[in-house]
Structure 1
């Protein structure tokens, strides 16, 4: 039985709904998508919205204001909800300027003969009291007509609104969009709505006079990067709007290397009892988050209730043992310093130095003069002026009462009010209201000028005012482009959001409760990414607790240049340790994630914080070592020339004749060249000098060693030829010695030629061997050929040494073998020690080792072979005669 009753109820309900829809379809419509018209003889709304402002006109623009509110007690279900509201309303006096901005725009338009001529623009402003049910009622009243509330119907003789401006709070804007979207009525929100860009399609009738919040978040990131703040706190109301903010901003901060130290959710206290409970019970626990010393920057998603709540906290702290906050507050553009009458006593100095991205505004000509004319009865129908005037000036416009100390004279001036109550300069939101009115007016003007298939034309070609429908404005409103009276361009982008900039404002709070806003920067969302935020750092005033120093907000101190960041396990990436850069790597900026290598032509400084240019390193004549070696080379060459001169001068003496003059001259000349060859190694290596170094060294030394070998063989053959019947006499002479010298040298020439043809030496730059130096040297081309030359010289030297060693005891008259033995011993010792020494050095010191080996081995040959002979020739000439030679020969035979 119960199920049948339920089915019957459902069927009955559906039937009633269908009948109502059919009745609506049968009613006459003014236009497509219009509301059905009825006879407006019905009575006025029995429960009208008390705070309203109506000015008649041919066409009317509606506005939902957020100036007056009530504080509610929690429902007890013991009495009617209407009795739970405190009778005395509270005015957000600062928002009254939004209403005046609309009135000022309408006044200008009605005087302008060029824009919507012959049309009087009126307006109808209703308050929504921050309540959802009143927010829904307000747009229905605007669509029905003044003082009428007939949902889904329009009284033709009463001017309904063709566009609606509002609301100030996101919830208000979202609720308005839900209603107005049904009737295709344009809604121009002068503050951020509850919709995101991804939800624009769900509200095709919504236009926003503020750019998307995403641009603000980019601006905050630019601001944090500018001051190197990477450790910040996030504050938002504990509701859907606040949660959506936190879910959006945290990933954006993370992507930009910024961490949230904590997220502080402020409770949404709807009723006064809840506010008291939060302040007394949970304040100390929540306040500790804000006291974090590392977190000196707090980003507040600044809906007006959030700031009010914080000001209550700051005021409470003054009367407790808690430490007042000294922080940098960054607040989104939703926020403005505004005060209810009872909030004037709340603390504001904690917010001194606040930075906020405020809606861009400009001062309009004549607006301040217009404000100066405002008096309590300045306009008939202004239902907001009384409560504003009484609560702003603290007086009463009514007859004197017991609880009222002062009666308003009506001559009070708005410019005498503090900035928290009212500002004479046009605020950003008032500027948006003004531009919104003009945007609607230009849309109407364009319809009138260019025509549209959706409107009717009067016979004279002007707009038929009585038949204009709100939905007709969309086509022109989306394409709105004009310059306002301040000379600034106004237009919407593809998302129906205003194309404009944000001002970065620095709020200065003075001890007397007054404040000043200073523009210290500008956020241009349409500028290049690197230049979207421009700042004037010198104009920023920080909170007094920072003592005029730039605040720091990081998890730990920054890593200095020369160090890189190392992540701490279990902590957020903004908390890290600093690790010195490895050898050869640098970090030239603070807080670098990784160290990096310097370019090849540079090297890391000792502190590893910068790259220094490498110097060219080669053995040059400009340094002491190069000069010393060049001096030694020339000195030994001159000594050898002197020895050659001695031998030439005394060429007819027995001693010189007995030692094969030709071989002696060849050996001395080759030694002169050997001593001079190191000069090729000093100086900047070149294409010619590199091959010449090795070829000269190999060939000249081969000649010298071949000459020594020939002298050794000649000594042995000479001794053997003295024996009776010896046939060795035929080998004694120039033919054998020349053959030994030529053949020994020719083989080396062949090796050098092969080297030159296959892989010749060439100048090269070594970037890596030494820190701080680019080694300019001669690359051997073929190391094998280089050591083959050395090996061939070593082979001839060993043969000379062995032959001379066995001939060292021959008679002195003929014996050079003893001196040759010593010379070859020195020669071989030098070049054997050369190889490990050469391989263990780098750069120009390899050249030094090679030069030293050349000089040492050449000096060994010169000293061991020719020093004894020069001693006899120069110092003991008496021994250099035939008699002495014969006597020494006989003595040797007797021995």
Structure 2
């Protein structure tokens, strides 16, 4: 009934407004309203505004529709009344909601979310639920991925890593072995101590160059050996220095050269001793190539193999520095680093040292062969102890170096292991071969006197006598063992 009454009033208000416009001041219908035009009347009906029978405004929009009016009810359970619907708001062009009158399951006060899925956070992509257009699951972009758009995760370029919230990519930090790093402190200290010790030995030998101990040690080969020892210590500083074209070229050149010089000199000296006393068992004529000039020629010839090989390597593959992003590309992108290093693989490094290690092994073999030479004639035993200890050092180096190939700290562990092993091997040579001589020169100069010089013939006679005594001792022992058996 209310809507019928409001409709009649709407017609009445429209006719009244129309009469005021078309027939101003005239009673009844005028010519302009006789007959009434339906389109004109509709225009005036859409323009009326008045309070209806219920006291609510009556009006029409541009489409001729009256505004909707809705009461909002909520089904509630209360302790005082029976369950039923209760008005909690109204809609008349805008929402009027009495939140205090609303009730929710569990007694909560806040309005629950009425959505299928919540918005995804930064670094998460939407994975739509099949068959449900407005529902999705949020998936975090993992690994080295970042959020490209709301539906896609994309992997960062190889030299970049995702930002903490995975919304963009950022450059991966570049690291190298720093001088202040704990991994560099021990090698640098060993190298500096070794360089000072080597320099002190060289100065002492130069100042006492014409004394018997220095002459007896073979001055020419001694200075070559000390030069090699100095280069072995110095390579530590090149291995820790910031990689560049010059540093990388110097690493290739001097990494194996110092060891090649040292072990070439030791091998030449040991071979000379072995050949002299092997020749003494057969004849009284000296073997060939035992003069100082010949010894230097042999030493430099052996060292030249390392030098020529290194120069050929430098010519075929020019040195340069690279940034290795794979070495420290750990599962956690925040810990990822790019390593600045020279373009030397583990294999090429071992090949660079391979010739020096071959010289070391060969020298050890000759030291073993010369172990029976009388110690009053040579320094074969100190050289032997030096080579045995050096072999132990490098045998320990190999498993440590290759055992850390997959470690995130590979660059630090391998560099430290290599430099410490080289410094230790140089220290063994310096300590066993030259420290005793320097000690006598400085603290016991009375012992630094010329001893009776033996000719090669006398040396050969002594070796033959020593051999005969050893054979007789063996025969007596065999006879003593055979006598009880015959009884």
TM-score (norm 1): 0.40
Residue 336 of structure 2 is aligned with which of 772, 783, 792?
772
Describe the shift of the 1:786–1:164 C-alpha distance in structure 2 as closer, same or farther (beyond 3 A): farther
Q: Which runs of 5+ in 1 are unaligned?
A: 1-68, 72-85, 108-121, 124-144, 150-158, 169-188, 194-302, 325-346, 352-419, 421-504, 512-541
Q: Kindly provide the CA deviation profile for residues 447-473 of structure 1, in whole angstroms up to 9, marking residues without a partner as x.
A: xxxxxxxxxxxxxxxxxxxxxxxxxxx
Deviation at 1:580, TM superposition (A): 5.4
Deviation at 1:844, TM superposition (A): 3.8
Does structure 2 conserve the Cα–Cα contact (< 8 Å) formed by 1:605 and 1:612? yes
Does structure 2 conserve the Cα–Cα contact (< 8 Å) formed by 1:719 and 1:814? no
Aligned match of 1:802: 365
Does structure 1 conserve the Cα–Cα contact (< 8 Å) formed by 2:127 and 2:139? yes
Q: Distance in 2 between matches of 1:769 and 1:672?
A: 32
What is the count of residue pairs matched by the alignment? 420
Does structure 1 conserve the Cα–Cα contact (< 8 Å) formed by 2:89 and 2:96? yes
SS in 2 for 1:768: strand
Describe the shift of the 1:792–1:567 C-alpha distance in structure 2 as closer, same or farther (beyond 3 A): same
Does structure 2 conserve the Cα–Cα contact (< 8 Å) formed by 1:807 and 1:817? yes
Q: Distance in 1 between matches of 2:97 and 2:207?
A: 109
1:381-392 matches, within 5 Å, as: none
Does structure 2 conserve the Cα–Cα contact (< 8 Å) formed by 1:718 and 1:814? no
1:653-672 matches, within 5 Å, as: 653-672=211-230
1:669-818 matches, within 5 Å, as: 669-720=227-278, 722=280, 725-770=283-328, 771-780=335-344, 785-818=348-381
Q: Distance in 1 between matches of 2:74 and 2:263?
A: 103
Q: Distance in 2 between matches of 1:552 and 1:585?
A: 31
1:362-761 matches, within 5 Å, as: 507=94, 509=96, 552-557=113-118, 560-561=121-122, 572=132, 574-577=134-137, 581-585=141-145, 593=151, 595-603=153-161, 614-720=172-278, 722=280, 725-761=283-319
Describe the shift of the 1:555–1:882 C-alpha distance in structure 2 as closer, same or farther (beyond 3 A): same
SS in 2 for 1:688: helix
Describe the shift of the 1:92–1:684 C-alpha distance in structure 2 as closer, same or farther (beyond 3 A): farther
Deviation at 1:739, TM superposition (A): 1.9
Deviation at 1:751, TM superposition (A): 1.0
Describe the shift of the 1:677–1:321 C-alpha distance in structure 2 as closer, same or farther (beyond 3 A): same
Does structure 1 conserve the Cα–Cα contact (< 8 Å) formed by 2:124 and 2:140? yes
Q: Distance in 2 between matches of 1:796 and 1:755?
A: 20
SS in 2 for 1:554: coil
Does structure 2 conserve the Cα–Cα contact (< 8 Å) formed by 1:675 and 1:855? yes
Deviation at 1:711, TM superposition (A): 1.4
Does structure 1 conserve the Cα–Cα contact (< 8 Å) formed by 2:10 and 2:45? no
Higher relative contact order (CA 8 A, sep 6+): 2
Q: Distance in 1 between matches of 2:123 and 2:453?
A: 79
Describe the shift of the 1:759–1:320 C-alpha distance in structure 2 as closer, same or farther (beyond 3 A): farther
Q: Kindly provide the CA deviation profile for residues 754-789 of structure 1, in whole angstroms up to 9, marking residues without a partner as x.
A: 111111331111123214211111112x77654432
Aligned match of 2:383: 820
Q: Which runs of 5+ in 2 are unaligned?
A: 24-31, 47-59, 329-334, 471-487
Aligned match of 1:314: 73
Deviation at 1:822, TM superposition (A): 3.0
Describe the shift of the 1:847–1:798 C-alpha distance in structure 2 as closer, same or farther (beyond 3 A): same
Q: Distance in 1 between matches of 2:285 and 2:216?
A: 20
Calculate the aligned-residue CA RMSD, in Å: 4.8
Deviation at 1:689, TM superposition (A): 1.0
1:855 aligns with 2:416: no
Q: Distance in 2 between matches of 1:796 and 1:707?
A: 10
Q: Distance in 1 between matches of 2:378 and 2:181?
A: 45
TM-score (norm 2): 0.69
Q: Kindly provide the CA deviation profile for residues 813-858 of structure 1, in whole angstroms up to 9, marking residues without a partner as x.
A: 2332222233333434444544443343433443333322322332
SS in 2 for 1:572: coil
Aligned match of 1:363: none
Describe the shift of the 1:88–1:767 C-alpha distance in structure 2 as closer, same or farther (beyond 3 A): closer
Does structure 2 conserve the Cα–Cα contact (< 8 Å) formed by 1:777 and 1:844? no
SS in 1 for 2:340: strand
Describe the shift of the 1:322–1:163 C-alpha distance in structure 2 as closer, same or farther (beyond 3 A): closer
Q: Distance in 1 between matches of 2:19 and 2:110?
A: 45
Q: Distance in 2 between matches of 1:593 and 1:847?
A: 45
Q: Distance in 2 between matches of 1:859 and 1:596?
A: 54
Q: Distance in 1 between matches of 2:214 and 2:286?
A: 22
Describe the shift of the 1:602–1:594 C-alpha distance in structure 2 as closer, same or farther (beyond 3 A): same
Does structure 2 conserve the Cα–Cα contact (< 8 Å) formed by 1:564 and 1:595? yes
Does structure 1 conserve the Cα–Cα contact (< 8 Å) formed by 2:227 and 2:258? no
Q: Kindly provide the CA deviation profile for residues 571-594 of structure 1, in whole angstroms up to 9, marking residues without a partner as x.
A: 7365455555544445699xx545
Describe the shift of the 1:316–1:695 C-alpha distance in structure 2 as closer, same or farther (beyond 3 A): closer
Aligned match of 1:349: 89
Deviation at 1:675, TM superposition (A): 0.6
Deviation at 1:869, TM superposition (A): 3.4
Q: Distance in 1 between matches of 2:385 and 2:237?
A: 27
SS in 2 for 1:843: helix
Aligned match of 2:482: none
Q: Kindly provide the CA deviation profile for residues 670-710 of structure 1, in whole angstroms up to 9, marking residues without a partner as x.
A: 21122112211223211211111111212232222211211
Q: Distance in 1 between matches of 2:163 and 2:122?
A: 11
Q: Kindly provide the CA deviation profile for residues 413-465 of structure 1, in whole angstroms up to 9, marking residues without a partner as x.
A: xxxxxxx6xxxxxxxxxxxxxxxxxxxxxxxxxxxxxxxxxxxxxxxxxxxxx
Describe the shift of the 1:348–1:720 C-alpha distance in structure 2 as closer, same or farther (beyond 3 A): closer
Q: Distance in 1 between matches of 2:207 and 2:438?
A: 12
SS in 1 for 2:376: coil
